[in-house]
Amino acid sequence: MLRIALKNIALWATCLLSMTAGATIVSDWNNTALAEVRVAKFGPPIVARALAIAHTCMYDAWATYDQYALGAVVGGSMRRPAIERTDANKAKAISFAAYHCLLNLFPGGSTRLGNAMQAHGYDPLDVSTDVTTPQGIGNVVASAVIDSRRHDGSNQYGDLASGAYSDYTGYAPVNSPMAFCQPQTVGPCPPNVADPYRWQPLISSSGVTQTFIGPHWERVTPFALQSASQYDATTPPPNYSQGPANYQADVNQMVTISGGLTMQQKVTVEYWADGPASELPPGHWGLFAQFVSQRDGNSIDKDAKMFFAMHNASFDASIVAWHLKRKYDGVRPITAVRYLKQGKTIFAWGGPGRPNQSIAGEKWSPYNPGSNLTPSFPGYISGHSTFSAASAEVLRKFTCSDNFGFSTVIPANFGRVEAGVPPSPMTLSYATFSAAAAEAGQSRLLGGIHFADDNTVGQNLGKQIGDQAWNKAQFLFHGGRD
């Protein structure tokens, strides 16, 4: 108990230390990484891993200039003397590490990444491995981190199955693909459901058939988890799988939400959608961390630790969430509602540009932007909820408070589902990290993407995952001491 008390006192004292103003090199490189995420259009678990690796490279490079901290990969093997522990050296080492790791993760971004290095005043062609210099530290650390992740089960290099990050476990959906259909579609849209409890791939508006993104992700080496299945014993099966009455209740709730969609709710769905060409949910919390860094005037030291801990928590969240997605192969609302309400008239959202109205049950549609009506992987549990709760937990722990104070103005006609959403600028505000995480999960119910317990279970697990990742990060920050 004394050790825990002393640790908490030390954490509280750390939170009160004076901070410098302005964006740090870590925050800048996070922004650069998110720009690559938007271009690459990887799936959420792949993005979570990429951001965790990038910030592990930055953290390990920084740790060599700290008195106590251990690198996650290199440990304390390259620790530099006190006279070299300047912000200039830290920034240079971090930049070289970030550049080479991002180049490995996003090879298509070589020109943009090189330009980012030059904008910071560094030569991207400097490949020195002299660990008495900051560029040598950064280059050596990047190589070590990249090597440590080469065979981590992600199939980044396509050496387990053809294609980067492709499945090598033989997953195949039970249900045949569902043809594209919306409430305004002319003609019949008969459901083709072999198993109403299992995920069904969709055919997009452009005729592309979905494939499960990351069915092998449970095999990826985590950061702090004991295993992908660590929380299985305390995680209930999906509500809808526990009897016909539960299935009916979940479907009825989806229809009720759809039939009552308000403008505020539509804006909430659009803001949190984070689909292809966005930062995706793990990157969305990277933007939030950038805000916290600016809000608190973080130093390089603080940001090296904060982004590292948060993005690794998000990475572990991806492994647990995608393990459960694979384990249960859970049905999405679009399949369940159309299956159960086929041949019936229901009151729901009427489709883009149409009011809530009576529609054919088999044409029910989520309020979701993009050519795919729902994401390309099973439902249970919600990735948004798990990523958000894990990230929020780390930011709460790091800042010693749940206070967030973030607001964003959603411009008129921001919506991608239909025009006029919102009709005039609308402000979304989140007083706390908890509120932001809760709304991220709730947005998926409003959009018809997830059932209620996809969210609640994801939120609960995310918090536990974030806490576990924070504890490991603290262990490293304190030089391997609890």
pLDDT of 442-465, one tens digit each? 999 999 999 999 999 999 999 999
Q: What CATH fold (topology level) applies to the domain 217-477?
A: Vanadium-containing Chloroperoxidase; domain 2 (1.10.606)
What pLDDT score does 370 carry? 81
* Least confidently predicted of 21-30, 314-323, 385-394: 21-30
Whether residue 19 is predicted with pLDDT greater than 50 in this model: the reply is no
Mean pLDDT computed over 347-375: 94
pLDDT band at 191 (very low <50, low <70, confident <90, very high): very high
Dihedral over alpha carbons 77, 80, 86, 91 (to 10 degrees): -40
Average pLDDT of the residues of the chain: 94
> 10 Å Cβ neighbour count for 242?
12
Mean pLDDT computed over 49-60: 98
pLDDT of 233-281, one tens digit each? 999 999 999 999 999 999 999 999 999 999 999 999 999 999 878 899 9
Mean pLDDT computed over 312-324: 98
What pLDDT score does 482 carry? 61
Question: Which residues are within 8 A (CB) of 98 and not within 5 positions of it... i.e. 6 or more apart?
Answer: 29, 32, 33, 54, 57, 58, 61, 138, 142
CATH 1.10.606.20 range(s) for the chain read: 217-477
Backbone angles phi, psi at 40, to 5 degrees: -70, -35
pLDDT of 22-47, one tens digit each? 689 999 999 999 999 999 999 999 99
CATH 1.20.144.10 range(s) for the chain read: 19-148
User: Quick one: angle between helices 433-446 and 280-296, nearest 10?
Assistant: 150
pLDDT of 112-151, one tens digit each? 999 999 999 999 999 999 999 999 999 999 999 999 999 9
User: pTM for the complete prediction?
Assistant: 0.95
Query: Using CA atoms, how far apart are residues 198 and 305, in angstroms rounded to an integer?
Result: 40
pLDDT band at 480 (very low <50, low <70, confident <90, very high): confident
Q: Does domain 19-148 have CATH number 3.30.420.10?
A: no
What pLDDT score does 276 carry? 79
User: Residue for token digits 């800042």?
Assistant: 399
What pLDDT score does 371 carry? 80
